[in-house]
Amino acid sequence: MKAKVYVTLKAGVLDPQGQAVSHTLGRLGFEEVKDVRIGKYVELELDETDEARARERITEMCKQLIANTVIEDFRIETVAG
Amino acid sequence: MRFGVVRFPGSNCDDDAYHVVANVLAERGSTGAIIWHKDHSIGDVDALIIPGGFSYGDYLRAGAIAAHAPIMAAVKEFAAAGGPVLGICNGFQVLCESGLLEGALVRNHSLRFVCKDIHVVVEGRPTPFTQAIPAGRHIRMSIAHAEGCYTHADVARLEKEGRVIFRYCTAEGEVTPEANPNGSVANIAGVCNAAGNVVGLMPHPERACEALLGRGGEDGRMLFQSALAWQQGTPARVGG
């Protein structure tokens, strides 16, 4: 089974990288951009076929290492096969 | 007093910290030992220093991989037993990632790596590394980091518990937004745990221990001298 993990800064935590990208997009003429938040994308390949169990394990991985839950949120997507 | 300095792959202030405790302060009864990250025991030491650098190349997040290195179980055990632990720069990031300190260090507001001399005011509850420094004393050290912006979900509680130990200030000791080099909440440069024995800070005291090295002077010695006085149980006042 494959899984995708999206790690994003919590709402409230300032994202200077996102701000810099937002300003530059504005300068390039993309005036509709109101806010940009930058995060991380992690692909995992697991030796596991049960989705519920995979999610449970990945949640634990995120809490222990992949995300810093003090400042980041995470979202998990599993892909069968 | 024997200071153990933990060396991770990518640590680059480990030798500087070792030099201070093993040579600069030797005549005050200080000795040092380097501890390898793959070890499972810290050996016979009285205090630990988690040094600066780029442990594991700052992969994932600064300090995130080092926080799970084999040696960290022994570091946590030592800290839980009340042993003094000082995290400097990347070491501060490692202590936050490992849960030994609260909060997190994120990208500087400027998005730049900032390398310069700064001043911090010493305050908060007594810790082994600051108990001999008069409260309100401001000291000069250098910073060199890109992820030094301290963030915490409940700064008011941290302040109430006296756990803000260092705060960026001007050369005159005033805590102003201009004196904040990285956007840290409430100008926080260093904090301690609830028990006070684990301290982390972004500035580099080990780089400010010999007048020969740059313009920083010797203010950084105060932290190590404070720990020596704490260990010896003698009331002392350093840098007075």
| Cβ–Cβ < 8 Å for B210, B24 | yes
Mean pLDDT score of chain A, rounded to an integer? 95
Taking CA–CA distances from B183, the nearest residue in chain A reads: A14
- State how many domains chain B has: 1
pLDDT of residue B198: 98
CB-CB neighbours of B161 under 10 Å? 15
CATH number at residue A31: 3.30.1280.10
Mean pLDDT per block of 10 residues along chain B (240 residues) reads 97 97 96 97 97 95 96 98 98 98 96 96 97 94 97 96 98 97 98 98 96 81 96 83
Calculate the CA A25 to chain-centre distance: 21
Q: How far is A31 from chain B (nearest CA, A)?
A: 23
Indicate the residue of B64, B102, B153 with minimum beta-carbon distance to A68. Answer: B64
pLDDT of residue A32: 97
> With contacts defined as CB-CB under 8 Å, which chain B residues touch A16?
107-111, 183
Is B181 within a domain?
yes
The boundaries of the domain holding residue A47 are 2-79
The boundaries of the domain holding residue B69 are 2-232
Which helix (H) or strand (E) element contains residue A60? helix A51-61
| Cβ–Cβ < 8 Å for B146, B112 | yes
CATH number at residue B168: 3.40.50.880
pLDDT at A44 over 80: yes
Cα dihedral B107, B109, B110, B111, rounded to 10, equals 20
pLDDT of residue B189: 98
Is B27 within a domain?
yes
What pTM, to 2 d.p., does this model score? 0.94
Is B146 within a domain?
yes
Alpha carbons B129 and B101: distance in angstroms, whole number: 15
